[in-house]
């Protein structure tokens, strides 16, 4: 079949992102032709500011080199402006007469800078700030002239002014409004920004309206004249010198071509939610577009549009673009500033404000009906990504409200170790402690590889890809490096992995509703993009299937991480560790002798106590594991789950059995709990502790379930975490008897097992669903609680000791054995 022809008018970031997304979905569907008016391949327009500031070169910011077009069979016309669309003959015509026919046409003509309609605006030395040509001219002028005036105190104008100042010019920013960046900042934040920029030597003239640009003797612009304001003092002077005038007073969607083709335009080419114009063969994306009456000038929304457009061009027909919430970061090195959403507030909104002028920190959060609708941050922007996420997700913040202003560190998993100023961190500061990645490495990768998302950065640098505690900081570095192009992933809708577009929530729900029982059936029903998934989705699917349908869905060992497949904990050298079970932490001299014998027999190099107060035998070869377990089994012992997404240990203090302060028999309670939960799989690891009195020697306050004995019974705490980010467990309820402790604990864990997302700890799960939701199911409704308890017992009733299976079943034991070959018998 002959390929259809796709013509793209506009070789910029939106158009080429749409082509890239299309090639991912349907690489062979179209013959693609691209027209670009500039004589360059697609480059990262956002990074023109660092080029101007001398931090990067043009070559650094090319996104798609010419080879990319060739590799993908794309015909590229650079330096050719399309001047006509013939919708009847379905062809476009360029200024030089080049013609291309199309079956589908994509308009990505971008925007044009708004040039103030004042006398002298066409003088040499008066330019806009839009493309490589403008940037080159600014760099050249800075080398030969002194006075620069930037008209417009918005994002673009300030970046231009900063760059020119760094290039040695004397720079004045002229702004019509009473404060800078009025579309992104409130007055307080803008004044702090202004003071900081003034300290760098920039000058500002606010509330000044330009009357004319005046030429000098050479014919070049020489000065700028302002209109006298009401109450003008003649002593103030109305003119300042200007060898270079940069107009940064806004952009206008470039609709000239579309209008000439009589496509409906209204402050932009009007498109529907599928990015289609009024001519169904013609699509449009980017700054030239008006979607639901809004023309976007930041890159993040344009990328969202590109993705939707590609989906329709590929004939998938399922994506919709419904508009974007935008956020802003100023790309001026060393200044931390962030805003998002409706930061000005207004009727029906409340404001939560922190204003420390001397300390250079300002935070304003705008709240409406228990949701965050906007934020402005100056000086400390570490939580910008988090606030933006809350705005985008529309999450109910009622429970967080009193702590919201203090940031994620106070309410959830922040863990950025007090570092809150990403932009002012030095390049050599370590950001990711797990993988040893410094800020400079991240910034370099973002710039040289053209990275736009957290996932991109994780893949290329490994920063925040291990424990994840530096995620917020990496997001901030990303935001301060690429500014408005940055958009945090939508946590609610985030796909499980690259193999699917479905989120954890949707996958869980579908498995339940459709009664899916196997991984292949689930992948088939949910249109997985890969034949057998990946190391991220298969373990998740396996967990969802067996936790949703216990007794029906069959466990798939090949979809488990090695530790759960080998039932021991893999170490850096490929050996394993074994942690013999000690129920509740109790042991006997006889058991200790068995452990000592094993350690000697298998030449275990290291023996130590684990964090859960058990004995760890480290450095056992995989082929020896079944033998170790056989020796344990012969002594009536069993190994421990010290490695899995499962119950780990129940830590206990000595309690009323021995302790003079003990009020409850905590060791006995711990043993009961650990025995009840034997073999329980869960979304992530689960740790328990039981203390015999409020002195809490078992550290129950940082466990997934912490039980604290008091004279009248037990207090139960849930969702604590002692790991990456210490999280104090929350009080769930108080009960009287040991059986009640078992029932409530089991009910909570079963709720988590049924509703938690894979790799979500209890603290994250409870933060997502709210403690009220947990209490409603576990505490206030006895029927629900009993049903949850019964379901957990049902799921655990047939759990087979995996270590005994590895010892006794030859088919299982086989997987531990190394195959020996006789190389002497090699045949030819």
Partner 1 sequence: MTGWIRVCALDEIAPLGSRVVASSQGDIAIFRTAADQVFGLHDKCPHKGGPLSQGIVHGNAVTCPLHGLKIGLKDGEAVAPDKGCAKTFAVRLDGGEVWLQLK
The candidate with the shortest Cα–Cα distance to 640, out of 648, 651, 632, is 648
Q: Does the protein bind partner 1 through residue 88 (CB under 8 A)?
A: no
Q: Does the protein bind partner 1 through residue 466 (CB under 8 A)?
A: yes
Q: Does the protein bind partner 1 through residue 419 (CB under 8 A)?
A: no
Stretch that binds partner 1, among 259-267, 566-574, 702-710, 728-736 (CB under 8 A): 566-574
Whichever of 554 and 695 has its CB closer to partner 1, that residue is 554
- The DSSP symbol for 403 reads G
Stretch that binds partner 1, among 256-264, 565-573, 725-733, 783-791 (CB under 8 A): 565-573
Whichever of 230 and 574 has its CB closer to partner 1, that residue is 574
Contact 206, 177 (CB under 8 A): yes
Q: By CB under 8 A, what part of segment 507-536 binds partner 1?
A: 530-535
Contact 681, 557 (CB under 8 A): no
Task: Tell me the DSSP string of 288-316.
Answer: TEEETTB---SHHHHHHHHHHHHHHHTT-
Whichever of 490 and 623 has its CB closer to partner 1, that residue is 623
Q: Does the protein bind partner 1 through residue 820 (CB under 8 A)?
A: yes
Stretch that binds partner 1, among 343-351, 660-668, 776-784, 810-818 (CB under 8 A): 810-818
Contact 670, 650 (CB under 8 A): yes
Contact 320, 273 (CB under 8 A): yes
CA atoms in the 13 A half-sphere facing the CB of 340: 32
Stretch that binds partner 1, among 369-377, 404-412, 502-510, 563-571 (CB under 8 A): 563-571
Task: Tell me the DSSP string of 319-346.
Answer: --------EEE---TT--EEEEES-S--
Shortest reach from residue 8's CB to partner 1, in Å: 26
**CA-CA-CA-CA torsion for 529, 531, 533, 538, nearest 10 degrees?**
130
Q: By CB under 8 A, what part of segment 241-280 binds partner 1?
A: none
Stretch that binds partner 1, among 324-332, 410-418, 455-463, 471-479 (CB under 8 A): 455-463
Shortest reach from residue 260's CB to partner 1, in Å: 43
Whichever of 505 and 520 has its CB closer to partner 1, that residue is 520
Stretch that binds partner 1, among 50-58, 564-572, 692-700, 798-806 (CB under 8 A): 564-572
Instruction: Tell me how crowded residue 494 is: count the other CB atoms within 10 A of its CB.
Output: 14
Whichever of 783 and 824 has its CB closer to partner 1, that residue is 824
Calpha distance 648→641 (Å, rounded): 5
Q: Does the protein bind partner 1 through residue 558 (CB under 8 A)?
A: yes
Q: Of residues 561, 607, 654, 733, which one binds partner 1 by CB under 8 A?
A: 561
Shortest reach from residue 397's CB to partner 1, in Å: 34
Shortest reach from residue 539's CB to partner 1, in Å: 7
Whichever of 427 and 815 has its CB closer to partner 1, that residue is 815
For residue 83, count CB atoms less than 10 angstroms from its CB and return exposed for 0-12, middle for 13-18, buried for 19 or more. Answer: middle
Q: Does the protein bind partner 1 through residue 828 (CB under 8 A)?
A: yes
CA atoms in the 13 A half-sphere facing the CB of 12: 26
Calpha distance 54→166 (Å, rounded): 8
The candidate with the shortest Cα–Cα distance to 705, out of 724, 725, 678, 685, is 685
Strand bridging mode 147-151 / 126-128:
unpaired
Total binding residues toward partner 1, as defined by CB under 8 A: 38
Shortest reach from residue 547's CB to partner 1, in Å: 19
Task: Tell me the DSSP string of 694-742.
Answer: TT-TT-GGGSSEEEEEETTEEEEEE--B-SSS-BPPEEEEEESSHHHHH
Q: Does the protein bind partner 1 through residue 549 (CB under 8 A)?
A: no
SS3 638: coil
Shortest reach from residue 436's CB to partner 1, in Å: 12
Q: Does the protein bind partner 1 through residue 449 (CB under 8 A)?
A: yes
Contact 33, 16 (CB under 8 A): no
Shortest reach from residue 566's CB to partner 1, in Å: 7
Stretch that binds partner 1, among 388-396, 462-470, 474-482, 678-686 (CB under 8 A): 462-470
Calpha distance 207→440 (Å, rounded): 39
Stretch that binds partner 1, among 226-234, 250-258, 323-331, 811-819 (CB under 8 A): 811-819
Distances (CA, A) of 531 to 496, 528, 541, 573: 16, 7, 14, 31
Whichever of 228 and 436 has its CB closer to partner 1, that residue is 436
Calpha distance 364→224 (Å, rounded): 36
Backbone φ and ψ for 702, nearest 5 degrees, come out as -125, 30
Q: Does the protein bind partner 1 through residue 143 (CB under 8 A)?
A: no
Shortest reach from residue 558's CB to partner 1, in Å: 4
Shortest reach from residue 499's CB to partner 1, in Å: 9
Q: Does the protein bind partner 1 through residue 566 (CB under 8 A)?
A: yes
Shortest reach from residue 559's CB to partner 1, in Å: 7
Q: Of residues 504, 538, 753, 785, which one binds partner 1 by CB under 8 A?
A: 538
Q: Does the protein bind partner 1 through residue 350 (CB under 8 A)?
A: no
Q: Does the protein bind partner 1 through residue 122 (CB under 8 A)?
A: no
SS3 238: coil
Shortest reach from residue 826's CB to partner 1, in Å: 5
Whichever of 182 and 556 has its CB closer to partner 1, that residue is 556
Distances (CA, A) of 214 to 91, 113, 153: 44, 21, 21
Q: Does the protein bind partner 1 through residue 474 (CB under 8 A)?
A: no
Shortest reach from residue 813's CB to partner 1, in Å: 12
Q: Of residues 264, 460, 775, 804, which one binds partner 1 by CB under 8 A?
A: 460
The candidate with the shortest Cα–Cα distance to 789, out of 739, 823, 827, is 739
**CA-CA-CA-CA torsion for 14, 15, 20, 26, nearest 10 degrees?**
130
Q: By CB under 8 A, what part of segment 570-589 binds partner 1?
A: 570, 572-574
Whichever of 539 and 550 has its CB closer to partner 1, that residue is 539
Q: By CB under 8 A, what part of segment 603-632 binds partner 1?
A: 622
Q: Of residues 459, 515, 736, 809, which one binds partner 1 by CB under 8 A?
A: 459
Calpha distance 769→756 (Å, rounded): 9
Stretch that binds partner 1, among 60-68, 333-341, 559-567, 787-795 (CB under 8 A): 559-567
What is the residue whose two structure tokens read 């925040």? 464
Contact 454, 471 (CB under 8 A): yes
Calpha distance 400→393 (Å, rounded): 15
Q: Which alpha helices (DSSP H) does 72-214 contain, by range?
A: 132-144, 155-166, 187-199
Shortest reach from residue 557's CB to partner 1, in Å: 7
Shortest reach from residue 624's CB to partner 1, in Å: 14
The residue ranges that bind partner 1 (CB under 8 A) are 449, 459-460, 462, 465-466, 530-535, 538-539, 557-559, 561-562, 565-566, 570, 572-574, 622, 814-815, 818-823, 825-828
């Amino acid at each position: 079949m002959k390929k259809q022809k796709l013509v793209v008018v506009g070789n910029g970031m939106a158009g080429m992102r749409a082509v890239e997304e299309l090639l991912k979905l349907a690489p062979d569907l179209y013959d693609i032709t691209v027209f670009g008016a500039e004589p360059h391949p697609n480059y990262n327009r956002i990074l023109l500011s660092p080029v101007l500031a001398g931090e990067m070169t043009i070559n650094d910011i090319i996104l798609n080199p010419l080879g990319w077009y060739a590799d993908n069979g794309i015909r590229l016309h650079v330096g050719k402006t399309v001047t006509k669309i013939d919708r009847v003959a379905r062809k476009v015509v360029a200024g030089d007469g080049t013609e291309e026919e199309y079956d589908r046409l994509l308009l990505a003509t971008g925007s044009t800078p708004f040039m103030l309609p004042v006398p002298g605006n066409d003088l040499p030395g008066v330019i806009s700030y839009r493309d490589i040509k403008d940037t080159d001219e600014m760099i050249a002028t800075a080398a030969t002239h002194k006075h620069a005036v930037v008209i417009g105190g918005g994002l673009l104008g300030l970046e231009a002014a900063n760059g020119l100042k760094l290039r040695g010019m004397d720079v004045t920013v002229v702004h019509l409004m009473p404060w800078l960046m009025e579309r992104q900042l409130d007055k307080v934040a803008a004044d702090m920004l202004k003071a900081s920029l003034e300290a760098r030597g920039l000058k500002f003239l606010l509330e000044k309206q330009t009357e004319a640009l005046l030429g000098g003797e050479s014919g070049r612009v020489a000065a700028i004249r302002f209109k006298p304001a009401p109450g003008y003092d003649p002593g103030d002077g109305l003119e300042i010198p200007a060898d270079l005038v940069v107009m940064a007073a806004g952009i206008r969607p470039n609709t000239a071509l579309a209008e000439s083709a009589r496509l409906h335009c209204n402050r932009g080419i009007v498109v529907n939610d599928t990015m289609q114009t009024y001519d169904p063969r013609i699509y449009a994306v980017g700054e030239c577009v008006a979607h639901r009456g809004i023309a976007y000038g930041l890159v993040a929304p344009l990328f969202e549009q590109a993705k939707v457009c590609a989906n329709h061009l590929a004939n998938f027909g399922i994506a919709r673009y419904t508009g974007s919430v935008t956020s802003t970061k100023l790309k001026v090195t060393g200044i931390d500033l962030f805003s998002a959403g409706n930061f000005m507030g207004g009727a029906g909104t409340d404001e939560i404000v922190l204003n420390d002028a001397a300390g250079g920190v300002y935070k304003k959060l705008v709240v409406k009906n228990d949701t965050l609708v906007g934020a402005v941050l100056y000086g400390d922007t570490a939580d910008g990504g988090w606030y933006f996420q809350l705005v985008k997700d529309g999450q109910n913040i009622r429970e967080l409200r009193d702590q919201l202003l203090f940031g994620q560190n106070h309410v959830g998993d922040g863990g950025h170790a007090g570092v809150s100023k990403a932009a002012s961190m030095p390049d050599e500061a370590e950001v990711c402690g797990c993988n040893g990645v410094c800020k400079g490495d991240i910034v370099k990768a973002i710039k040289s590889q053209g990275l736009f998302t957290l996932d991109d950065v994780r893949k290329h640098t490994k920063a925040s890809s291990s424990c994840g505690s530096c995620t917020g900081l990496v997001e901030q570095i990303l935001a301060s490096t690429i500014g408005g192009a940055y958009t945090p992933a939508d946590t609610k809708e985030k796909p499980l992995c690259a193999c699917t577009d479905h989120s954890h929530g949707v996958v869980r729900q579908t498995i339940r509703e459709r009664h899916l029982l196997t991984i292949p059936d689930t992948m088939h029903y949910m249109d997985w993009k890969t034949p057998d998934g990946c190391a991220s989705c298969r373990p998740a699917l396996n967990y969802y299937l067996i936790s949703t349908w216990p007794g029906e869905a069959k466990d798939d060992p090949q979809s488990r991480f090695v530790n759960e497949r080998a039932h021991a904990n893999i170490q850096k050298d490929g050996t394993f560790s074994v942690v013999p079970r000690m129920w509740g932490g109790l042991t006997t001299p006889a058991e200790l002798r068995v452990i000592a014998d094993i350690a000697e027999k298998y030449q275990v190099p290291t023996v130590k106590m684990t964090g859960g107060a058990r004995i760890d035998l480290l450095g056992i070869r995989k082929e020896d594991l079944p033998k170790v377990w056989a020796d344990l089994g012969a002594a009536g012992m069993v190994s421990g789950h010290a490695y899995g997404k499962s119950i780990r240990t129940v830590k206990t203090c000595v309690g009323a059995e021995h302790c003079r302060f003990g009020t409850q028999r905590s060791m006995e309670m711990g043993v009961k709990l650990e025995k009840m939960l034997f073999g329980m799989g869960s979304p992530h690891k689960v740790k328990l502790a039981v203390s015999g009195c409020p002195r809490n020697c078992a550290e129950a306050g940082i466990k997934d379930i912490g039980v604290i004995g008091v004279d009248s019974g037990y207090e139960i705490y849930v969702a604590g975490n002692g790991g990456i980010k210490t999280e104090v467990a929350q009080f769930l309820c108080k009960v009287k008897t040991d059986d009640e402790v078992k029932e409530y604990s089991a009910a909570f864990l079963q709720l988590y097992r049924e509703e938690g997302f894979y790799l979500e700890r209890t603290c994250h799960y409870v933060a997502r669903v709210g403690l009220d939701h947990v209490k409603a199911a576990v505490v206030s409704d006895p029927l629900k609680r009993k049903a949850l308890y019964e379901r957990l017992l049902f799921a655990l009733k047939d759990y087979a000791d995996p270590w005994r299976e590895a010892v006794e079943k030859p088919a299982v034991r086989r997987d531990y054995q190394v195959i020996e070959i006789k190389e002497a018998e090699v045949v030819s």
